[in-house]
Amino acid sequence: MEERKPILHELYVFSEWKPEPEYLQKPDNILPENLSALWRWLKFFGPKKSLLDSVSAFKENQQKWHIALGDEGKVIAVLTDNILEIRTKRSEYATIAARTTVNRDAYPQWRKVVWSPDCSFVAVAYGNGVVSFFDLTASNLFNIPIDCNRPGGLECTDNTHAVADIIFMPLRVKDNKWNWEVLIVTYDGALRAFLVSATEGCSLQHTFRFAGGVAAVAHSAAHDTLYVAGVPRGSCKDPSSPLYAGLTAWRILSDDPYYKLSVVSDSLEAQMASDSLHLYIPFVSSKNLAFIVQMVISPDGSHLLCVHCTGEVSVWRLPLLKLQNRWPLAIQPQHDVDNPLETEEKREGMYHPADVDWWSNEDIIISRFNGAVSVCSSSDLAPLLQAQWLRGSARVASHSGAALVALECERSTHQPRAPRSQSTELVKQDADSEDTMYELTKEMVKSILYAITDIETFQPKPKKITVVSRIYRLLGIKSTTPEELFARKIESGNYEEALALADSFHLDSDLVYQQQWRKNPVSTDAIQKYLSKVSKKIWAVHQCVDRLPETLPAARELLQFGLELTNQEILHASDIPSAFSSTSMVQSKVSKKIWAVHQCVDRLPETLPAARELLQFGLELTNQEILHGNTTLLFSH
């Protein structure tokens, strides 16, 4: 197998946002507000690694903003804290084509943004499970509420019904009234299928449920199949089996039951038959299962890329769900390199993949929680594009033309100038610090005693305030040729990198020195550093005439260099006459060039125009063949 060449790339900054600083306040009440939060608060009594715990740990370490590319990168949707922006590639994503205000979300990392294939819809799922549909003008077309059956009519405000994915599918039965069929799959395993139209709104078509919950789901249009990541089968001991990873394939049917579990091999069917009575019991099943938390299908639909909660990356061949490669975190190349832009202390999971996508049908993009973004081969995970260091855990999205878009978040913490109230305490942020069980119990008892006795001794600790400032940047990384990158480096003034490229790819380094010569005033330093290093002798000689220095000393230096460049033998000759007239008419008739050339250097006129004439004459005198050898004369008297 031949060695793959590294990818040459360019980094662009499309846009930048500086939202208002956020005041983070640690709640002083110990008791949770609802039953789902109570379960999370008591999670130390349950398993360490359940499906929802794994998804929660993965989501909560990601940044709050989201991006989604549509129509192979022609449009991009950027979901900020409370604004949905639509930008186009025509303006290099620098200007806003449309925007609208959305509600702030208590669970911003759990939101989802998806374009329809024809970009007629952009769907936004909020943390509580509500899905809103917008058009290209960012107009809200309709909303799909959550399917919540809580007793007593209680409103769902938590992320219990958060959406795992939104899938746009062609209509199973042709109908001019509707544009698309949309599948909304939630983490609790519920699937709802809607028919949607920009004019008719939406209509519920059917519902379905995946037992055990859903951590991730992907739709393959090529195979008309849903690939679902759920709870791994604890009884399966074969790491190459999809059941070991919790992967199942579901064929899409036109009629009830609409989805059928697809058994792609006899061995898999035997495993499922022997495992049919097995139930996932948190206290009995393994606590260290490698749940899949993200899945992406390759552009040609032949492979499935998976990210596991343990930091593992796996690639499966479709439609057979056959394991092609699997890389635990410890053997992933360059996974534990520290980000030079960040000074944070090491924390659990900081080297895990935060987001993935396909760069091409053979190569994948990996963004890690430590800010590293790299392009790797799907065969051996060898880096083809060395890690680009971004701020925070960047979200990435690929589009056609071997390019990607990344959203980075630069985060800083500081104290406000003055406390907001006497009941607040300003502290520096410590994201990794958590109260111990003893402190939680102590604060709970104090809260109860204070509520009963109203004695100040039992008053809980003051609320802690942390001020967090964020800067978001939309970046682009695009592959390029050595010639294109070389020209870009010269244009942007990165001359050292341009010279390195010229040396590596045998490009013309004269272009670098010529650009530096043009950008700097004529001086001895500029002549030595730039003009003297140009290998094209004719170009350098003409520069000695075309560029008139601003000072007479600089003109003398340039004249000296030009004369030495054209004919060093004449300049260093020793036969010099003893007397000669000073007029230029007499000089032109002198039979001995040596004396005349030295007069061009020694007798510098007092005006710059006269110096230019003398410079012109001296260069023509020393080597007319060089100056007039080209068909185009680059200078005139």
* Alpha carbons 316 and 480: distance in angstroms, whole number: 29
Amino acid at 468: V
- List phi, psi (to 5°) of 526: -65, -35
Q: Is 173 exposed, middle or buried (0-12, 13-18, 19+ CB in 10 A)?
A: exposed
Alpha-carbon separation of residue 228 from 128, 232, 294, 297 (angstroms) = 21, 11, 10, 12
Predicted pLDDT at 217? 97
Alpha-carbon separation of residue 469 from 14, 170, 346, 377, 430 (angstroms) = 20, 43, 21, 36, 14
Q: Please count the residues of the chain.
A: 637
Q: Classify 490 in phi/psi space as left (phi over 0), alpha (psi -120 to 50) or beta.
A: alpha
| 337, two tokens | 């390199």
Burial 505-520 (b: 16+ CB within 10 A, else e): eebebeebbbbbbeee
Runs of H (alpha helix) within 411-457? 437-453
- How many C-alpha atoms does 564 have within 13 Å on its Cβ side? 12
Instruction: Say which DSSP state 458 is in.
Output: G
Helices 510-519 and 537-546 pack at an angle, to 10 degrees, of 10
Q: Which of 126, 204, 128, 220 is nearest to 167 (CA)?
A: 220
Predicted pLDDT at 595? 54
| ∠ Cα 495 498 504 (to 5°) | 145
Order of all β-strands in the sheet with 216-220: 216-220, 225-229, 247-252, 259-262
Instruction: Say which DSSP state 459 is in.
Output: P
Residue 246 · residue 230 · CB < 8 Å: yes
Strand partners, 345: none
* Alpha carbons 447 and 451: distance in angstroms, whole number: 6
Q: Which of 492, 534, 490 is nearest to 514 (CA)?
A: 534
- List phi, psi (to 5°) of 604: -80, 125
* Alpha carbons 627 and 620: distance in angstroms, whole number: 7
Q: Which of 132, 119, 322, 306 is nearest to 239 (CA)?
A: 322
| Residue segments in the chain with a per-residue pLDDT below the cut of 70 | 1-5, 25-49, 148-156, 234-235, 264-288, 344, 401, 415-437, 440, 458, 460-464, 548, 565-637
For every residue of 54-120, which 3-state class applies, written as one string? HHHHHHHCCCCCEEEEECCCCEEEEECCCEEEEEEHHHCCCCEEEEEECCCCCCHHHCEEEECCCCC
* Alpha carbons 632 and 637: distance in angstroms, whole number: 14
Predicted pLDDT at 169? 96
Q: Is omega for the bond preceding 319 within 30 degrees of 0, making it cis?
A: yes
Strand partners, 373: 367, 388
**List of residues 6+ apart from 615 with CB closer than 8 A:** 544, 545, 555, 558, 559, 562, 600
Predicted pLDDT at 311? 94
Q: Which of 95, 93, 77 is nearest to 85 (CA)?
A: 77
Q: Which of 304, 165, 193, 183 is nearest to 246 (CA)?
A: 304
| 617, two tokens | 């004459």
* Alpha carbons 45 and 540: distance in angstroms, whole number: 79
* Alpha carbons 277 and 506: distance in angstroms, whole number: 66
* Alpha carbons 584 and 598: distance in angstroms, whole number: 14
* Alpha carbons 624 and 637: distance in angstroms, whole number: 14
Q: Is 628 exposed, middle or buried (0-12, 13-18, 19+ CB in 10 A)?
A: exposed
* Alpha carbons 190 and 8: distance in angstroms, whole number: 44
As a whole number of Å, the end-to-end CA separation of the chain is 63
- List phi, psi (to 5°) of 632: -115, 125
In whole angstroms, what separates CA 338 from the centre of its chain?
17
- How many C-alpha atoms does 448 have within 13 Å on its Cβ side? 6
* Alpha carbons 425 and 51: distance in angstroms, whole number: 36
Note the maximum CA span of the chain.
Answer: 117
* Alpha carbons 421 and 265: distance in angstroms, whole number: 66
